[in-house]
Every structure is written in C-alpha cells, then in structure tokens.
Amino acid sequence: MKDALYGELTVIGMRGCEKFVSQVDAYLKEWRRHDNEETFVAQAECPRFGSGEAKGMLHESLRGHDVYIISDCFNHGVTYKMYGKTVPMSPDEHFADLKRVIAAIGGKARRISVVMPMLYEGRQHKRSGRESLDCAVALQELINMGVSNFITFDAHDPRVQNAIPLAGFDNVRSSYQMLKALVHNYPDIDFNKDKIMVVSPDEGAMARCIYYSSMLKIDLGMFYKRRNYSIIVNGKNPIEAHEYLGRDLQGMDVIIADDMIASGDSVIDVAKQLKERGAARIFVFSTFGLFTAGMEALDKAYEEGLFTRIFTTNLVYQTPELLSREWYGDVNMCKYVAYLIDTLNHDESISSLLDQSKRIHKLVDAHNARK
C-alpha cells in the first residue's frame, strides 16, 4: 500500500450496523495503527421525537475526511418509539436516516462513499408500465447530496448504475467467500464436473450462476419461473411452477446460487424438484438472507432432507433465531469490506479485489490437492 491517503479515514455505521462496523474497524486498526485505543469510527446518531420525526447528529468535525458510511437498509431488528409504541424501522426509514447523516456532514468531508451491501429498492430497478423507478431516484438523490461513490454487493441488476453515469458504482461479488465457507464446512466436496453442478433458480440469477460454472468448470442448469401474469399477489405476479432445463442430476451435489432469499418459497420449490430428479446434497448460496416469512417452512424442508445447507452473508441483519439454525451457514464479509475501504482510502484501484477468479482457482486447487 502507498503511504499517501486521500483524506483522514472515517467510518460511520448507521443503526443496526454496529457489530459489523466494529469488526471492520478492528481490521483497519490491526493493519494501520496496531493499538486498541483509537478507532476509525465516528459517532453519528439520528434521535427521534415522540412523533417519529428525527434528525441527524455528528459529535465531531469531519472536515477534509474520507468518509465511508455503512448502511443496512433491511435491518428490521432496529426499533424506535413513536406515540409510545415500539416500531421496527423500515427500509424507507433507514434510507432517510442515511440522508440525515449526510446532511449533518454538511459538505465538509473531502469525499463521501456509501457502503450499502443490499441496494435500497434494488428490486425496483426497471419500469413496467406506470410505476416508479425507486432505486434510480434514490441513487440520484444521494449523488445530489454529495456522495461520490457507492459500494454494493451482488446488485439485483447492476445496470441501475446507468442512472448515475458520472459517479462511482462498484458492484462486488461474494462468490469467493461462499466457496470458501463451503469448502471449510464440507471438506469432502468434490468439484469434479461429474460430481457437482450449479443450478440457477430463475432467469435473473443466470449471470451469477454462469460465473460459478465458469470458475469451477462444472455444468450449469437452470429453472425458469412460469408466472400467472393475469393477477398480482403481494405486489408481484405469482409463480405457478419452476421448469427445469439441464443435464441429469442423479447422484450429483448441486449449488443453487441467487442474490437473495426473501420468503424462501422459491428455494424450497427448486430444491424439491432437484431432489425429485435424484440430486444428492443441495447447497444454497444467497448473498442476502431476508427470510421475510419466518423460518418454519425452511425448518420443515430441512427436516425432509430437501437441502443440506443455506449460506448467506452477514451483510444484512441476521436474527439470533437464524444464527441458531443447524441448516444455516454464516459467511462473514467484514474483512473484505475492510480491504475495500483501506484500498480506496489509499486512492488505489480495487480491481484486484473485485476480480475473484485467481482466489477461487487457488482455493479449488488447494482443496483438490488435499483430497
């Protein structure tokens, strides 16, 4: 690393990110200060009035600093009081608090970067008929407030960056960390193309699954969603069936890769069909585990042997109940985020960090050599 910094490094963790930011800070201190007294974290808060209104507050000057704000807009574990009632924070409220903190900085920072692992309104990235383009509007709003760069992970559709063509937008993969967790937890995994394959749960996940297929040199299958476009349920056209396209699965391990698990219904349906086709172990890679419908259905599916393990990252809120599940595998991304922040603060390219191919090949080669 070069010694010259873009500006004095400051990391701000929005509410709900305290544990994640603490780990990021620990790595930065280990690499750069080697003591336990100082911190790169600046204290910011958004206190609320009894009516639910709020304001952003900083407790130190950030003039000339290189600021990285880490925000998890999907942390429903954060609550506040409104008219005496305890209310969980919605993505909209997390986003509003992010803007409040940026406003509190007041244009004094030398550069502001937002680390938003799961992009706010990322699923509302394109228009079909008379509807809003929420993600594009949100990105433009933050740019107008002074944000220079966005770091996000496995964006639902990274083409949404076209809404801010003159700003930085880095879409980071979690593929290497997923495979590393798989190898660590299942040392008997065999990456021979006759023993394992990757399956895309739908058309939208194909690019992600093609990447795994190419890196591991294994075959690729896919499901496509047959939807009922005549009705809308919970804001979307319901899925009537998942249709499979691909080679014979008899006796093969399968990796299902997607960007997120919402209710988990699609994962269960896909896993059931794979099992009916003779698949052996089924591993699910999902960068973001939301589990919006609870975990009872997944508990039942696991008991029935429909899948072996679900891996998701700690980039979004993980409930204590989720972490206690036998079928759940946690993929820690704090060190990776710390690398990104440290490199950018030195005003260096993060291309080598974004390109995970060499690390994946090294991981697989080392694993194969041990077998």
| Residue 260, pLDDT above cutoff 70 | yes
Average pLDDT, the chain: 93
What local confidence, expressed as pLDDT, does residue 128 receive? 84
Rounded-to-integer distance, Cα 12 and Cα 326, Å: 33
DSSP string, 247-263: S--TT-EEEEEEEEESS
Cβ contact 78:88 at 8 Å:
yes
What local confidence, expressed as pLDDT, does residue 48 receive? 95
Q: Is 300 helix (H, G, I), strand (E, B) or coil?
A: helix
Tens digits of per-residue pLDDT, 116-127? 999 999 999 888
What local confidence, expressed as pLDDT, does residue 34 receive? 61
- Tokens (6 digits) for 199: 């399956």
Total-model pTM: 0.92
Half-sphere exposure of 249 (CA within 13 A, CB side): 26
| Residue 1, pLDDT above cutoff 50 | no
Q: Which residue has the tokens 């696991």?
A: 302
Query: What radius of gyration do the chain's Cα atoms show?
Result: 21
- Contacts of residue 347, Cβ cutoff 8 Å, sequence gap at least 6: 2, 4, 5, 6
Tens digits of per-residue pLDDT, 50-63? 999 999 999 999 99
The confidence band for 203, taking pLDDT boundaries of 50, 70 and 90, is confident
What local confidence, expressed as pLDDT, does residue 245 receive? 87
Rounded-to-integer distance, Cα 344 and Cα 150, Å: 12
| Residue 20, pLDDT above cutoff 80 | yes
The confidence band for 3, taking pLDDT boundaries of 50, 70 and 90, is low
Residue 131 CB neighbours (<10 A): 9
Tens digits of per-residue pLDDT, 126-167? 888 899 999 999 999 999 999 999 999 999 999 999 999 999
The confidence band for 231, taking pLDDT boundaries of 50, 70 and 90, is confident
